[in-house]
Amino acid sequence: MNENEIETDYLLKNLNICDNKEEKMWLTNAKKRFEMFYQEVREQPLSSLIRAMEIKCRRLQPIFPQFFEIRWRYVTANVGSCFLIKDVGIFVINIPLSIKGKEFEIRNLVAHEIGHLYSTVVSLEREYFSEKGEFIGDVGESLKFLRDCLNSENLDKEKTESYHKRATMIGIFALNERSKFYKHRMPLNERSFCKSFRQIADDFKRW
Amino acid sequence: MLEKRTSSLLVVKAIKACSSKKALNTVFKEYGISKLEQRIKLLLKAMGNPSVSYSDCFPPARERYNTIVDTHFSGILRKDYYSWISKGKKK
Task: List chain B pLDDT tens, one digit each, 91 residues.
Answer: 446 666 888 999 999 999 899 999 999 999 999 999 999 999 999 999 999 999 998 999 999 999 999 999 988 887 655 555 555 444 3
Chain A partners of B57 at a C-beta cutoff of 8 Å?
160-161, 164
The CA dihedral of B64, A43, A167, B61, to the nearest 10 degrees, is -10
The residue with greater pLDDT, A92 or B79, is A92
Q: Closest residue of A to B55, CA-based? A: A80
Decide if A123 touches B, using CB distance below 8 A: no
Q: Which residue has the higher pLDDT, A93 or B76?
A: A93
Q: Which carries the bigger pLDDT value, residue B74 or residue A120?
A: A120
Q: In total, how many domains does chain B have?
A: 1
In-domain check, residue B36: yes
Q: What pairing do the DSSP bridges indicate for beta strands A90-96 and A69-75?
A: parallel
Please give the Cα distance from A22 to A197 (Å, whole number): 23
Domain that holds residue B28: 5-86
- Does B91 map to a domain? no
Please tell me the least confidently modeled range out of A30-39, A154-163, A184-193, B68-77.
Answer: A184-193
CB contact, 8 Å: B23 with chain A? no
| Residues of B with Cβ-Cβ distance to A94 under 8 angstroms | 67, 70-71
Do B76 and A71 make contact, defined as CB atoms within 8 angstroms? yes
| B73, part of any domain | yes
Residue A85 touches partner B, C-beta closer than 8 Å: yes
Residue A83 backbone dihedrals phi, psi, to 5 degrees: -125, 140
- Tell me if B59 is assigned to some domain: yes
What pLDDT is stored for residue A206 in this prediction?
Answer: 78
Query: Could you count the other beta carbons within 10 Å of the beta carbon of residue A143?
Result: 19
Q: Among A83, A112, A164, whose Cβ lies nearest the Cβ of B51?
A: A83
CB contacts < 8 A, A to B, total: 101
Cα–Cα distance measured from residue A158 to residue A165, given in angstroms and rounded to the nearest whole number: 11
Instruction: Determine the average pLDDT of the residues in A140-154.
Output: 94
Chain A contact present for B76, CB below 8 A: yes
Cis peptide upstream of residue A187 (ω within 30 degrees of 0) = no
d(Cα A158, Cα A156) in Å, to the nearest integer? 6
- Amino acid identity of residue B32, one-letter, is G
pLDDT score for B3: 60
The answer to the question of residue B51 being in a domain is yes
- Identify the pLDDT of residue B89: 43
Predicted pLDDT of residue A181: 86
Of A65, A67, A90, the CB nearest to B77: A90
- Which amino acid would we find at residue B79? K
Question: What is the predicted pLDDT for the residue at B91?
Answer: 39
Are the CB atoms for A164 and A84 separated by under 8 Å? no
Assign A98 a pLDDT band (cuts: 50, 70, 90).
very high
Residue B24 lies in a domain: yes
Which pLDDT score, from 0 to 100, does residue B52 have? 95
Give the span between the Cα atoms of A149 and A121, in whole angstroms. Answer: 9
Position A202 confidence tier, pLDDT thresholds 50, 70, 90: very high
Chain B residues within an 8 Å CB radius of A161: 57
Contact between chains at A77 and B63 (C-beta distance less than 8 A): yes
Q: Give me the phi and psi of A4, to 5 degrees please.
A: -110, 10
pTM of the model: 0.87
CA geometry: angle at A191 spanning A188 and A196, to 5°?
Answer: 150
ipTM value, please give it: 0.83
Kindly state whether residue B50 falls inside one of the protein's structural domains. yes
User: How high is the pLDDT of residue B26?
Assistant: 95
